[in-house]
Structure 1
Amino acid sequence: MEPVEQQSHWRRSRRGHAPGYHEQARQLTEARREFEWLRAGAQMVQQQALRDFAQAMTNFFAGAHRRPTWRKLGRHDGFRIVSVKPRHVRQLNRNRGAVWVPKVGWVQFRVSRPVPAAVSYRVTRDAAGRWHIAFAAVPDTIPAPGSGEVVGVDRGVQTSAALSSGDLLHCSGLRPTETERLRRLQRRLARAQRGSHRRHKTKAAIARLRAREADRRKDWVEKTSTDLARRYDVIRVEDLNVGAMTRTARGTVADPGRNVVQKTALNRGILANGWGNLVARLEHKAPGRVEKVPAAYTSQTCSVCKTVDAEARESQAVFRCRSCGYTGHADVNAARNIAAGRAVTARGDLDTSRSVKREPQPNRLLSA
C-alpha cells in the first residue's frame, strides 16, 4: 500500500499509530522480495522516497506545510541519491559533467556552475520535460560592503521592486508575442478532447512557455538579490505574508467569494513578480542583514514630512503630499518609508514599539 494511502486510511479511533518510516522500510523489503518489477529499481531511491514522505508528514503535524498528497503524472517527477562519493561525479570538460546513478550508470549533464563537493543530489523533471540535477551544498554568503548604507525595497505589481535610492526594477516575463501565443494555446487546450494526442502536444507547448517565464523570473530574482546584497549593508522589506495574500477568493458554493476575477488577477501579478522568491534569496545571500518592516501605511505616508494621507497617492505611480508639496514616484516614496525601518500609525505618529524582524535563515541547495 502506498504511504499516502496508508495515512489516509488511519484514523484516531484505530488502535496504534500509522506506520512510520521504519515500518514502511520493512514493508518495502518484503515487497521487493515478492515483486520483480520493484527489485528492478534502486532500493536507495525507494528508501529516500519514504524518508521524504516521513519528513513531509513531520512538517504537516508541526503546522509548517500542508498534508502530502498524491503525485500527479508529469509533476514532481524525480528522485534523490545519497551517500555520494567524489568518484561518483566527473567533470568531462568545461560545460559537461557526468554523475553515477544506481541501476542506470553514468549520466551526463550540462554544468551551469561549478559542481560542489556534495554527499547527495536530486534529479527532477519539470512540466516542460526538462531534467535537472541539484547537488546538496551550502552556498557561500555574500559579504557586506561595509559602507553602512541601508536600502528599502517596495514590491509591487506594475513595478516589481522600487528601491529607496530611486531605482525601479522590473521582473522579466513573457514578451507580448509569447503572451498572445500562450492565450491561443490555452483556447486550443479548452477545445481539445481529453486524452487526445493534440491535447498532449498543446499541454507540452504551454508548459514550455510557462517554464520560459519561470526561468526568466528566477534569473531576475538571482541577479537582483545578488546586486542588493553586494551594494547595501542592510536591506529592509515589507513584512508581507505572500502565501495568504495570494490565496484564492473563490469561496464555496454555500459562501461564494466576491471580486474573484479581480483577486485572481492580483494573485497572478504578485506571483509573476516573484515577491516571495526575492526576499527568500536575499535572506539566503545576506543572512542577518535583511529586516522586515510592518507594511501599514507605508504607501500613504509622505517620506519627507511623515504625514499620512490616503488621498496623497493620485495614481499608481504618482505621490503628491498635500501638506509639504512633495511630489515623487509613489513606489519610491513607499520604499523610503520602508528604509526608515519604523512602523507608522493611522494618525501619522511613529510607532517605536514595533521593531523590525530578523529571522534565522535555512540552508539552501546549489543547482548545477
Structure 2
Amino acid sequence: MLVPKCGWVRFRLSRPVPEGVKSYRVTRDRSGRWHVAFAHLPDPVPGSGDGSVVGVDRGVAVSAALSTGELLKVPGLTPGETRRLELLARKLGRARRGSRRRARLKAALARLRARQSDRRKNWVEQTTTTLAREFDVIGVEDLNTRGMTRSAKGTLEHPGRNVAAKAGLNRGILASGWGALVERLEHKAPGRVHRIDPAYTSQRCSACGIRDREARESQARFRCRSCGHAGNADVNAARNIAHETRLIFVCAAAGPAVAARGRPGLPGRTNREPQPVLLS
C-alpha cells in the first residue's frame, strides 16, 4: 500500500477488502499500533424472517440481558491482567515526570487498556451480528448514555455529591459498551431496532403487569408480590421491553385510531361499563 509521505508500506489483512474500495485511512492508537481502515458500507444483516421479537436490557453487572433469558457479559481483563494494571498504575504515580521510566510505564498501561477495549469491541460486533441474524425486531431502552456518564464533581461553589460512587458507575457503564451496542445494532439491522421508553421497565412484572417498586429484592432478584412470579430482574425488564415493542407493531397494524387512545404507539386503557344480566 502506498502511503503519502511514507512510501510503500507492508500490512496484514485481517479480512478481505471488498472490490472497488479505494479510500482508506491510516491511524495510530494510544498503544502505538498502526491500523489501516478501508471505507466501505457493508450490507445489512438479514433477519430470521419469522417475526421474532427480542428485548435487550443493558446493565452494569450484566452487560445485556435478553428477553429469552440469556445473560451476556462483556469480557474484560483477566485477574492477572487486572493486578498488573493496578501495579503499573501505582508505579506510574511514583515515576518522575519526563523520565524514560514514566514513558515505558505509560506505554505498558496503554497496551493493557487497548487490549480491554479490543475485547469489548469484539464482543459488541459478535453480539450485534447474532441479534440481527436471529431476530426480526429488536427492542432496546432509549437511554441517554452521554448524560448518564457525566461527572458529578460539580464546581468549587457547588461541589457534587457521591463523586467517587458516580465515577465508578460511569466506568461500569462505559466498560459495558451501552452506546456501541445500540449503534452497531442500528447499523446492521436498520429499521428493525426500536427504542423503548425505559420508565418502570424494571419495576413492572412481566407476568401480570403489576408495577411495584418493592418487587426488586436485589440487583439480580425480582419477585412480584401480586402473582408470585420470581426470576432475574434484568431478564424481567428485557421481557417488558419486548412486550412494549410488540405493542408498537400491534398499534401500527390496527391503525391510528388505536394509537390515538393513549401515548404515542401504545394503546390506552379501555373502561367498560357494567352490563345488565338477564335472569330467566
Asked if residue 146 in structure 1 is aligned to residue 49 in structure 2, the reply is yes
Post-superposition CA distance 1:187-243 (Å, at most 9, x none): 111111110011000000000000000000001000000000000000000000101
Post-superposition shift, 1:342? 6.1
Q: Is the 8 A contact 1:153 1:161 kept in 2?
A: yes
Q: TM-score, normalised by structure 2?
A: 0.87
**C-alpha spacing 1:324/1:113, structure 2 compared with 1 (3 Å):** same
Q: Is the 8 A contact 1:155 1:162 kept in 2?
A: yes
Post-superposition shift, 1:335? 0.1
Match of residue 265 from structure 2: 355
Match of residue 311 from structure 1: 214
Residue type of the alignment partner of 2:3: V
Residue type of the alignment partner of 2:223: R
Q: TM-score, normalised by structure 1?
A: 0.67
Post-superposition shift, 1:102? 2.0
Over 6 Å off, 4+ runs:
none
Q: Is the 8 A contact 2:139 2:245 kept in 1?
A: no
Q: Is the 8 A contact 2:47 2:135 kept in 1?
A: yes
Match of residue 110 from structure 1: 12
Match of residue 63 from structure 1: none
Moved more, 119-128 or 334-343: 334-343
Q: Is the 8 A contact 2:53 2:138 kept in 1?
A: yes
Match of residue 183 from structure 2: 280
Asked if residue 292 in structure 1 is aligned to residue 195 in structure 2, the reply is yes
Post-superposition shift, 1:132? 0.5
Question: Which whole-Å CA distance do the structure 2 matches of 1:233 and 1:271 have between them?
Answer: 27
Residue type of the alignment partner of 1:129: G
Q: Is the 8 A contact 1:235 1:290 kept in 2?
A: yes
Q: CA RMSD in A?
A: 1.6
Q: How does 1:92-111 map to 2 (within 5 A)?
A: 99-111=1-13
SS of structure 1 residue aligned to 2:11: strand
Post-superposition CA distance 1:125-146 (Å, at most 9, x none): 0110000010111111101210
Post-superposition shift, 1:352? 4.1
Unaligned runs of 5+ in 2: 247-260, 267-280
Asked if residue 205 in structure 1 is aligned to residue 108 in structure 2, the reply is yes
Asked if residue 225 in structure 1 is aligned to residue 135 in structure 2, the reply is no
**Identical aligned pairs, as a percentage?**
65
Unaligned runs of 5+ in 1: 1-98, 344-350, 357-368
Matching residue within 79, 89, 92 for 1:186: 89
Question: Which whole-Å CA distance do the structure 2 matches of 1:335 and 1:141 have between them?
Answer: 24
Question: Aligned pairs, how many?
Answer: 252
Q: Is the 8 A contact 2:210 2:226 kept in 1?
A: yes
Q: Is the 8 A contact 1:342 1:355 kept in 2?
A: no
Q: Is the 8 A contact 2:194 2:245 kept in 1?
A: no
Q: Is the 8 A contact 2:56 2:65 kept in 1?
A: yes
Q: How does 1:1-368 map to 2 (within 5 A)?
A: 99-116=1-18, 117-341=20-244, 352-355=262-265
Moved more, 256-265 or 114-123: 114-123
SS of structure 2 residue aligned to 1:122: strand
Residue type of the alignment partner of 1:307: I
Q: Is the 8 A contact 1:342 1:354 kept in 2?
A: no
Post-superposition CA distance 1:242-276 (Å, at most 9, x none): 01111111111111110101100000000001000
